[in-house]
Amino acid sequence: MIRCVLLTLASIVLRLINPENLLFGEHSNLSTSQLAALHWYLKWGLPLWAIVDFNSVLNRWAENRWRWATDKSDWDWKSEVAVVTGGSAGIGACVVKELVAHGIRVAVLDIIPLSESFTTKEQHLLRYYKCNITSRDDLHRAAEAIRSDLGSPSILINNAGIGNAYTILAIPQESLRMMFEINIVSHWGTVQEFLPDMIAKKKGHIMGVASLASFVALAGAVDYSCTKAGLLAFHEGLTQELKHRYKCPQIQTTIVHPNWTRSAITSHPAIAAGLKRIGAKVLEPEDVAEAMVKQIIAVKSGQIILGPSISPKIRALPLWLQELIRDSQANVVTGDGSTAGG
């Protein structure tokens, strides 16, 4: 904010002085025309810089629920409990490792056993609950067990997700239903289980893992793109309800949009071949997990874009540019298959 004010003042001063009055020392080799050009660029460049800086300030203010400061004193990481869906392997397991490194106790909800990558020391801070998150009964039983074993969670990370590789005409109904049940409907179940305690304590953090597919629909993965775009809407709506329905802006919400990341999805032959064909850069799950947990430790809300920063702005581009971007990704997902079940 201070930098923004200084830039604005500097731009005002530049508009009040003549180019010849710019001070660059007596040994300056700049000609009158060069001074005039430099003056012009500074006169217009500094205000633009100030506008961009001010926009960033407003964005951070909005992400913080129109509050200038966040009270971090309520957070004692060694006393916090986090729930991570799909935390047995992949990105989820890396997130669990990052959380326990901060002393946070973690409850892992997954249908597959914990990865053998967890050390004995890490296992002391985590509990595994075999749970099918698409079953409300299963989820409720796991939630009750977590509250009994560890206490009420203050952090919920909806990480579980699957990927399909089917065209709209080819996808089996069961695969389509499973995609929506896991990738988006389950978020209603976990939030309904754990949010009430957070509201009662006016403290919590809910994080959802979406994708850059939230902004660009992919041929051959229309169902996946739909669920990720839906998660963006879920995140925005949840944030609004916390502020305006539950009067609880203290609860943080974050949605994460990773680019292609090394996982069961990108390892699927129908997708791996396409990524290789276009020379796509694949993120490491450890890097994604580090960014996610860093956001939690900072007690910040907002969107995390792990990929081209222009991604959220794609929908604001001219239609022809949007279509060129979609065309460039049209052959990444080919063939038939699903990562469901592992």
What tens digit of pLDDT does each residue of 190-222 get? 999 999 999 999 999 999 999 999 999 999 999
Catalytic residue among 228, 243, 276, 300: 228
CA distance 196 to 186: 16
Q: What is the pLDDT of residue 298?
A: 96
Q: What is the pLDDT of residue 36?
A: 73
Q: What is the pLDDT of residue 335?
A: 73
The more confidently predicted of residues 269 and 121 is 121
User: Does the structure show a pLDDT above 80 at 99?
Assistant: yes
Render pLDDT for 24-33 as a digit per residue (tens, 0 to 9): 545 556 666 7
121 is catalytic: no
Q: Please compute the mean of the pLDDT values over residues 89-106 and round it to a whole number.
A: 97
Name the percent of the chain lying above pLDDT 90: 66
Q: What is the pLDDT of residue 342?
A: 40
55 pLDDT band, cuts 50/70/90, is: confident
User: Does the structure show a pLDDT above 50 at 302?
Assistant: yes
Among the residue ranges 2-11, 29-38, 178-187, 242-251, the one predicted with the least confidence is 2-11
Name the percent of the chain lying above pLDDT 70: 88
Catalytic residue among 224, 247, 294, 313: 224
User: Does the structure show a pLDDT above 60 at 19?
Assistant: no
Render pLDDT for 167-194 as a digit per residue (tens, 0 to 9): 999 999 999 999 999 999 999 999 999 9
336 pLDDT band, cuts 50/70/90, is: confident
Domain extents for the chain?
A: 1-16+36-54, 82-328
Q: What is the pLDDT of residue 44?
A: 73
- Predicted structure pTM score: 0.85
43 is catalytic: no
Among the residue ranges 211-225, 232-246, 258-272, 287-301, the one predicted with the least confidence is 258-272
Q: Over the chain, what is the mean pLDDT? A: 89
Q: What is the pLDDT of residue 59?
A: 82
The more confidently predicted of residues 159 and 36 is 159
Which residues fall within 8 angstroms of residue 184, CB to CB, at 6 or more apart? 227, 230, 231, 234
Q: CATH assignment of 82-328, given 3.50.50.60, 3.40.50.720, 3.10.180.10, 1.10.10.10?
A: 3.40.50.720
Q: What is the pLDDT of residue 5?
A: 58
Render pLDDT for 250-289 as a digit per residue (tens, 0 to 9): 999 999 999 999 987 788 777 888 888 888 889 999 999 9
User: Does the structure show a pLDDT above 80 at 338?
Assistant: no
